[in-house]
């Protein structure tokens, strides 16, 4: 950003001359354009004086970035300044592609472990396994590096090589590998397959370039494998969205030609648009369920909203995130970009599902959710009532499942991950992901694996009790209730071993998913999880009951 504000000063001066020539400066101070020019002039003069006379040297780039960040605080979190060095992140959001080796890592203290391998990637072909320890990159020890730095070193231009030293977690043997980076394409469809032999299932993780084509290919392959397919589940849970055009393309697979999917409206009226399905659908009759949760956002909500408003299918799960804002990138000097919210989008019924109102802030500058009392009702094609201002509400609500405290602790401490690695090396072959189950002996082995390991934790009740004790001591009430407090504390004290047995089913499921990731990578993890997925099971029930399916659409 060197000299950027020297240039801006010239631009500002030229703008003021042009404005003066047009007579705009004769307008009163309430005129918006005069206010912009006036305050830009003050800003430029302020920085010039500060830079000239402040006792210490100020970094122009640092100071200006602070100014940009302060301006962005007045906008929504999706409006952002993207410097040239971060353009790859912007590209990845649009394309799902980046230069790298195709692996995810986790750094805990001085240890960095490979956690996931992308199928077909350079790391996969080189025989690297989840659980392998990463010791060095191009001769630089990973010990002492933070996770962000290691991730940055793993990425790079396709065609460049990377020397790494890995260690087998079981034998402790070191091995050196030369990995050539490639363009890694994170596929928008992470899994597709059949559930209960007659229901198709497609898991989408993002809306990047060619997402519509990828979903269509997955759907057509399922139809080819099972011509008698009785329904399809499109899983958009945890999908943060992406490209609006791809949301239209995905919708068009199931929705007839020339149907309105979404419209956008913003300050620049020439940019307002209606997006309709451009071609004939692949299948507009097969029963369809779309799964959503609190992390389904943006393009995911466009698809779910269109399916719901046009009564094309049933939405099942939890209310979606509620992001009804559209971003556009604008070029800035020195190859930087401004990612700016330029419009709101509206589903076919005319509702905007934006949940947080960023245009109104309280005295502290905080924003809040649109209150239920302000949410307006709209109607679907069949006359069903739907509301704006709070995401997509499912037609069939399924309560989310939350993990127990002991399970969360086992995941955080990497004990489930480490045991899966141990299991993999002890069992060269297992059943396929759909039929694999841990035996009672396997679970007992896991309990022995935990012997001597610290997986203690505090329940929410124990934390509340500690807070009460602290407050009672400060207010000098503790002595009067100490006996009762200690008795209650004793009753609430949990037994770690009993917690493991109490939550055995949940822990076994987490173990089985992680173990399947060792043998079949991400697809194995997803396939294993389908058997006990509440939302998927509910979707299957609805698709197997035509009367109920049609009742939800009435």
Active site members = 298, 309, 323
Residue with tokens 């979606």: 320
Asked if 314 contacts 288 with a C-beta cutoff of 8 angstroms, the reply is: yes
CA 141/CA 164 separation, integer angstroms? 9
Asked if 350 contacts 381 with a C-beta cutoff of 8 angstroms, the reply is: no
CA 199/CA 221 separation, integer angstroms? 13
Residue 413 tokens, joined: 């401490």
Please report, for residues 145, 458, 464, the alpha-carbon distance to residue 486 in angstroms, rounded to integers and kept in the order given.
45, 16, 14
Q: For 478, what's the count of Cα atoms within 13 Å in the CB-facing half-sphere? A: 13
Asked if 511 contacts 440 with a C-beta cutoff of 8 angstroms, the reply is: no
Asked if 362 contacts 291 with a C-beta cutoff of 8 angstroms, the reply is: no
CA 256/CA 391 separation, integer angstroms? 24
CA 103/CA 131 separation, integer angstroms? 11
Asked if 358 contacts 72 with a C-beta cutoff of 8 angstroms, the reply is: no
Strand partners, 100: 182
Sign (positive or negative) of CA dihedral 321, 324, 328, 333:
negative
Residue 101: phi and psi, rounded to 5, are -110, -15
Strand partners, 368: 357
Residue 48 tokens, joined: 């010039």
Asked if 510 contacts 480 with a C-beta cutoff of 8 angstroms, the reply is: no
CA 417/CA 130 separation, integer angstroms? 9
Residue 296 tokens, joined: 């389904």
**Of all helices (H) and strands (E), which one includes residue 236?**
none
Residue 156 tokens, joined: 């790079």
CA 68/CA 164 separation, integer angstroms? 39
Helix (H, G, I), strand (E, B) or coil at 245: helix
Strand partners, 182: 100
CA 539/CA 198 separation, integer angstroms? 12
Helix (H, G, I), strand (E, B) or coil at 93: helix
**Cα dihedral: 245, 320, 402, 456 (round 10):** 70
Helix (H, G, I), strand (E, B) or coil at 296: coil
Helix (H, G, I), strand (E, B) or coil at 283: coil
**Cα dihedral: 366, 372, 375, 377 (round 10):** 170
Residue 211 tokens, joined: 């997402």
Residue with tokens 């309990």: 447
């Amino acid at each position: 950003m060197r000299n950027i504000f020297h240039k801006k000063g010239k631009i500002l001066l030229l703008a003021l001359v042009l404005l003066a020539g047009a007579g705009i400066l004769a307008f009163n101070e309430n005129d918006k354009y005069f206010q912009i020019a006036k305050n830009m002039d003050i800003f430029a003069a302020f920085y010039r004086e500060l830079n000239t006379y402040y006792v210490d040297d100020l970094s122009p780039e640092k100071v200006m970035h602070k100014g940009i960040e302060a301006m962005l605080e007045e906008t929504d979190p999706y409006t952002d300044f993207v410097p040239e060095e971060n353009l790859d992140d912007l590209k990845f959001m649009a394309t799902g592609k980046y230069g790298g080796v195709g692996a995810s890592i986790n750094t805990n203290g001085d240890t960095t472990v490979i956690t996931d391998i992308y199928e077909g990637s350079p790391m996969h072909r080189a025989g690297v396994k989840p659980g392998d320890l990463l010791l060095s990159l191009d001769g630089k020890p990973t010990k002492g590096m933070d996770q962000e730095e290691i991730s940055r070193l793993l990425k790079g231009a396709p065609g460049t090589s990377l020397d790494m030293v890995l260690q087998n977690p079981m034998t402790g043997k070191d091995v050196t590998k030369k990995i050539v980076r490639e363009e890694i394409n994170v596929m928008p469809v992470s899994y597709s397959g059949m559930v209960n032999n007659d229901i198709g299932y497609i898991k989408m993780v993002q809306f990047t370039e060619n997402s519509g084509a990828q979903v269509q290919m997955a759907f057509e392959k399922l139809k080819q494998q099972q011509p008698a397919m009785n329904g399809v589940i499109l899983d958009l849970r945890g999908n943060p969205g992406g490209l609006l055009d791809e949301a239209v393309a995905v919708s068009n697979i199931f929705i007839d030609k020339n149907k309105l999917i979404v419209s956008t409206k913003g300050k620049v009226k020439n940019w307002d648009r209606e997006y309709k399905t451009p071609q004939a659908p692949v299948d507009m009759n097969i029963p369809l369920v779309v799964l959503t949760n609190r992390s389904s956002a943006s393009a995911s909500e466009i698809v779910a909203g269109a399916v719901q408003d046009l009564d094309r299918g049933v939405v099942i799960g939890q209310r979606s995130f509620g992001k009804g804002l559209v971003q556009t990138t604008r070029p800035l000097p020195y190859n930087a970009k401004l990612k700016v919210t330029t419009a709101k989008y509206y589903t076919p019924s005319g509702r905007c599902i934006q949940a947080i109102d960023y245009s109104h802030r309280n005295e502290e500058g905080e924003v809040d959710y649109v209150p239920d009392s302000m949410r307006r009702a709209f109607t679907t094609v069949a006359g069903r009532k739907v509301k704006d201002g709070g995401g997509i509400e499912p037609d069939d609500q399924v309560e989310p499942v939350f993990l127990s405290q002991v399970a969360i602790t086992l995941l955080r401490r990497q004990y489930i991950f480490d045991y899966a690695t141990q299991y993999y090396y002890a069992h060269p072959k297992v059943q396929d992901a759909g039929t694999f189950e841990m035996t009672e002996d396997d679970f007992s082995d896991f309990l022995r694996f935990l012997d001597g390991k610290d997986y203690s934790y505090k329940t929410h009740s124990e934390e509340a009790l500690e807070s009460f004790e602290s407050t009672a001591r400060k207010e000098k009430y503790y002595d009067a209730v100490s006996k009762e407090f200690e008795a209650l504390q004793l009753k609430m004290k949990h037994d770690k071993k009993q917690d493991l047995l109490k939550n055995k089913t949940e822990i076994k499921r987490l173990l089985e998913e992680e173990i399947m990731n060792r043998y079949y990578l991400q697809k194995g993890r997803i396939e294993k999880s389908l058997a006990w997925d509440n939302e998927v099971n509910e979707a299957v029930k609805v698709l197997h009951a035509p009367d109920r399916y049609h009742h939800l659409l009435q």
